[in-house]
Structure 1
């Protein structure tokens, strides 16, 4: 059998293993009206992340216990699939657009990206993952989670990886690899299993973006237009196949954002949001730049301090064990933080024993006020593009530079979404915003993204070295996703023909620059390439069908169209209206239905 034909089945197994238990949990929460349907898949991702994170600690304690845990999670996944298929309520929920569409897109997009990666190699036979055409030109950070997982399996988790301490990078993706050791461990599917699972983890960002777009109550056409413009960008494509877990961190953080800002104000849901935020931090700490402004804005809409305490406890439950491991088992564990915030690089062989605060104070103490201001100004200018001194991505020459610019700089990374400034500056178009989307829901997204854009360049040390200045990959990918959602939604105010033209240009440009031209002139593996082309067509076809599916009116039972009002009160009593919440009528945002 051609190697590429294993990919669809392997992906199905790994996706079910990762998501099935969480889908049952999300379906039950939706059945109890604690979350909207569009949050079922993102919540499933959070549950899968927690199960993966537990694998890190169990394998660290004992390989035998870890392998037992892996098989137990596989059995749990099979049981979850059985429940989803056999229980009518769960089965009906899976068939709804807000659950089925993100799941199908998750599968198809992952399949397209995995097969596109393995369809082209720089050598006739792939012996190392970074010999794939798409993965050349950058560091080897994409395989660090695999190396850490391998070291844990061998019983030497503190082994340095190149110049990095093993404890310098958060372990969530390594945990997913450990949980699925029967597939990702040594054997026939070692490379394919790791890459497939890791791409799936990055593409979990799509269901979270879907949820935010549903919150905005966009029409089906507009939602799919924004989603397509996000998916078909160099930012999304490259960071999905170059599997450092930054989009995974964004997926967890955006799920926390949706739960906190748009979910039910139940204490249990705030605790779940805290767990999602903690999962984001143990995937990649860059999302802290977005979690900080999220926390600041929540102070203005905090239901109670008990809610805040539960959210903080949920986050600490995930972050605290890893922080303790860094400080006690493999100290100091702050190698990356000192590089970003103090401009101090120390190899793993000779870690800097100063505390992070001391290192930052010493670095800034050596600079004059003018030099500090120059550093920060250079940081802000980097957001809009600067002279590129970095590598060429996925190939040499001008095309490699174009790809690197989209990867490094916020202005170039946003692509056609930069044109959202046009409707914002034209009064007639700006007035139409409230007609096509929920402006009140858009504002927190814009505020968090905007505050991140201010905080991030101020905090990073800069300038010059990509590790200390705000290139995209040194920041929060949750911020980038929010920018795509906000700017893309604003763009849909344009006439439909103009929006369609932008989508077509975006898809054509990204497919050509980031896929077809990367394949050209290298060793082709046709079983993967044919499957990649077929899945690309399937993605576009399903997006078109989804736009029509979303715009189909939902029939609401007559009894759900009116509120249930308690009997008339006696004299002097306070009237209390009982509200019926209908998630069918308004899936984007729950609103009380009154007579």
Structure 2
């Protein structure tokens, strides 16, 4: 296992490779006043996702061409870094708190989570990634993207892994691994390089959460309170280090959300939102539960785009989704194991033996139930949302602490933790009035509506109960919904007295640090070159969050908010049909 001191340098290289071209684009969009500054890093994530997705198809076509593509993108990233450092206007924008703070947090958090993971192993030496203490006790889903990338490199992409077809899981994270194959494909850096890159992909949700909190017009203190509490939850910690690409999909969905509902109504923004939504679907299709209510809300007159803009969104989304759907149906069919499992209630471990379609299985399995059995199943699904005591899985270690970690990862109320206390705010008139004074309530309601619709349709669509995979646990649904719930409830919590809010933050940080880190590290094999870096980066994250709050408040005092409410833009910038009537 490589020395932990390699981690900071490796992370810097991989982050620049993934994000630098997108940062150039994001800063250019800021200069043209098309996006707010807090969207620069999320937009860079979308560009990195598009480059990664392209790698899948180029490597599938020809591995040699894919290798050339990897080196070309590395050269492009190096040129982008050189430009960012050489141009004074780029350096100035990079120092802006809404660009610099998400970037620095992205780096520090990824470094902390990677070193915390590699600092503790079940054996004296780590040979396979899931021999790390944090990654024990669940499944191997976190390494499926690596296996699919390996099979593409071996020119055998249809090779199954365990009971899964390669086409059963969306390929975006595999594309990022292929993009950086000169690093992730080496024997020395196979585990560390893969984990560093994929943790970085999951932590991209943090700049997206930052952007939506800025859209709510929270001051620096309140924004950092919500962000700190979110970062120190079991939900964020575990799903960042156990790198099934669900937080990556959430990040891209939240970026699309910000562009669609709080961005400027320009053609380029609709196109970018379509790419973000499409990239989210080819990262993890669970976010469909959040994209659906977003689409429903866009039908509302207040937010409804013109038909030409709808065409741009659809074209960009289809450009991302259609190739993968065609691959599933034509190259490695049927590619719908997860749908058959979750929606039709049919687990198929031997995926080649049952030739029934999703529709046939859906009708057959629902046809075997009475109306009241179906009602019972759906009510049970809703009950599961509130959590229940479990005996498995033990996450990141055995015993009561392993069960507590499993409950936080599985059930919505356990996962939200202290955030659920925000539900008292609407019931208290004084707090409700204060809410309107400290943030944009209209925007908060939009986020709450999307999360609420998601929370309702998710248990209705899943077959359940029965096999654990058909129950509405957190990891079966949309992580974008969870992120929106954290944002909405966290923003509401900030209207409580500051002393109470500070106690909540301290309790969240202490609980998660003990349960998910100290409690995992003890009684195992520790690697101090990683653990020392983990402790230092933990302290750096907390220190930088405090500093970012001060800088953000100073920034807001010096400059007015740069985004304009959607309703004002609708008046200021007429849609095409309004321009025609104006000319008449």
TM-score, scaled relative to structure 2: 0.95
Counterpart in 2 of 1:397?
Answer: 399
Tell me if the contact between 1:97 and 1:549 (Cα under 8 Å) persists in the aligned partners. yes
1:360 Cα deviation from its structure 2 partner: 1.0
1:88 corresponding residue in structure 2: 88
* Cα shift at 1:313: 1.1
Does residue 358 (structure 1) correspond to residue 360 (structure 2)? The answer is yes
5+ residue gaps, structure 1: 557-583
Distance 1:363 1:343 in 2: 7
1:115 equivalenced with 2:131 (yes/no): no
Q: Which residue in 1 is equivalent to 2:387?
A: 385
- Pair 1:216 & 2:216 matched: yes
Q: Give the structure 2 partner of residue 286 of structure 1.
A: 286
Instruction: Tell me: CA distance 1:422–1:588, structure 2 relative to 1, closer, same or farther (3 Å).
Output: farther
Q: Which residue of 1 aligns with 2:6?
A: 6
Contact 2:275 2:313 survives alignment (8 Å): yes
1:423 to 422, 425, 431: 425
Distance 1:125 1:496, change over 3 A: same
Change (3 A) 1:10 1:92: same
Counterparts in 2 of 1:265-414, with a 5 A limit?
Answer: 265-300=265-300, 301-414=303-416
2:577 aligned residue:
none
Q: Deviations over 1:443-472 (max 9, x none)?
A: 110000000000000000001322111000
- Are the aligned partners of 1:160 and 1:348 in contact in 2 as well (CA < 8 Å)? no
Deviates more, 1:434-443 or 1:235-244: 434-443
- Please give the TM-score of this superposition, normalised by the length of structure 1: 0.94
Deviation at 1:52, TM superposition (A): 0.3
Which residue is 1:573 aligned to?
A: none
Supply the distance in 1 between the matched residues of 2:484 and 2:557 (Cα, whole angstroms).
Answer: 32
Summarize the Cα distance change of 1:60–1:348 in structure 2 as closer, same or farther, 3 Å threshold.
farther
CA RMSD of aligned residues (A): 1.5
User: Offset at 1:555?
Assistant: 7.2
2:293–2:450 CA contact under 8 A, matched in 1: yes
Alpha-carbon distance in structure 2 between the residues aligned to 1:481 and 1:555 = 28
User: What is the count of residue pairs matched by the alignment?
Assistant: 567
Closer/same/farther in 2, CA of residues 348 and 16 from structure 1, 3 Å limit: farther
| Alpha-carbon separation, structure 2, partners of 1:286 and 1:549 | 36
264-273 or 480-489, larger mean C-alpha shift? 264-273
Asked if structure 2 preserves the Cα contact closer than 8 Å seen for 1:214 and 1:588, the reply is no
Segment drifting more, 2-11 vs 517-526 = 2-11
Cα gap change, 1:554 to 1:257, in 2 (>3 Å): closer
Structural mapping, 1:582-593, within 5 Å: 584-587=559-562, 589=564
Deviation at 1:348, TM superposition (A): 4.6
Residues 405-460 of structure 1, C-alpha deviations (whole Å, 9 max, x = no match): 00000000001100001222111111110111110111110000000000000000
SS in 1 for 2:468: coil
Q: Distance in 1 between matches of 2:226 and 2:176?
A: 30
Counterparts of 1:65 and 1:520 in 2: how far apart (Å)?
47
- Residues 379-428 of structure 1: CA distance to partner in whole angstroms, max 9, x if unpaired? 00000012425311011111111000000000000011000012221111
More helix per residue: 1 or 2? 2
Deviation at 1:355, TM superposition (A): 2.1
The equivalent residue for 1:77 is 77
Write the deviation string for residues 325-344 of structure 1: whole angstroms up to 9, x where unpaired.
Answer: 00000000001110000110
Conserved in 2, the CA contact under 8 Å of 1:214 and 1:587?
no
